[in-house]
Amino acid sequence: MQRLLAQIGRTQRLNAINVLKRSAGLTVRELAGELGMSYMGAKQICLDLEKDGFLQTFRRHHGVGRPEILYSLTEKAQALFPQADNAVVLSLLDQARKLFGAGTPEKLLFLHYQKLAEGYVSKLGDITDPMERAQKFARIRDQEGYIANVLEEPLRIVERHHPLKGVVDSYPEIAAMEKDLFQKVLRQSVTREQTGSGAGMQTVYVLS
């Protein structure tokens, strides 16, 4: 990661990457607005980051007129965001399976998510308003590296990064555990959806 940070260099470039991480892709004009800088300044940052392999482009069609060009992060840029030590976790779960049986990893993960939910519930306290509760929970998850934010209509929490992605890929049953965790913490029915792929993957929790 240090090598990548050195390659990116200036703070404005890091700010651009952080803003783009929280979106499904932005035009240069949209990015300039988010960064509070000129169009040409944002354009140069995008060109530099694209040249270095951190950004890619795609087109957004509106039906009429020329399509817009949007910038989004590449897989290379994902290395800049925090990851738990997935290799250690996977190794421990594998050893548990060998020592105690095939169902042991799932039992350990279940207990982990139960404990995690209890901690979140304690932090959220007696907040009853659904929006306020979702916003505070999203702030906590954001601090933990999930790049989370709350959107409305419908009320939902969108997470654009998963620190344990390697573990989730190996144990897909975690998806159901995370859904249950959100329902317990938010005290509402929740549907969990994954959209996109690679650097553009996001997990959406829709509250109802």
List the CATH code of the domain at 86-207.
3.30.1380
Q: What is the 3-state secondary structure (H, E, C) of the chain?
A: CHHHHHHHCCHHHHHHHHHHHCCCCECHHHHHHHHCCCHHHHHHHHHHHHHCCCEEEEEECCCCCCCEEEEEECHHHHCCCCCCCHHHHHHHHHHHHHHHCCCHHHHHHHHHHHHHHHHHHHHHCCCCCHHHHHHHHHHHHHHHHHCEEEECCCCEEEECCCCCHHHHHHCCCHHHHHHHHHHHHHCCCEEEEEECCHHHCEEEEEEC
Please say if the pLDDT value at position 8 is more than 80: no
Whether 3 shows a pLDDT value over 80: the answer reads: no
Please write the tens of the pLDDT for every residue from 104-134. 999 999 999 999 999 999 999 999 999 999 9
Q: Is the domain 2-78 a CATH 1.10.620.20 member?
A: no
Q: Domain-by-domain residue ranges, the chain?
A: 2-78, 86-207
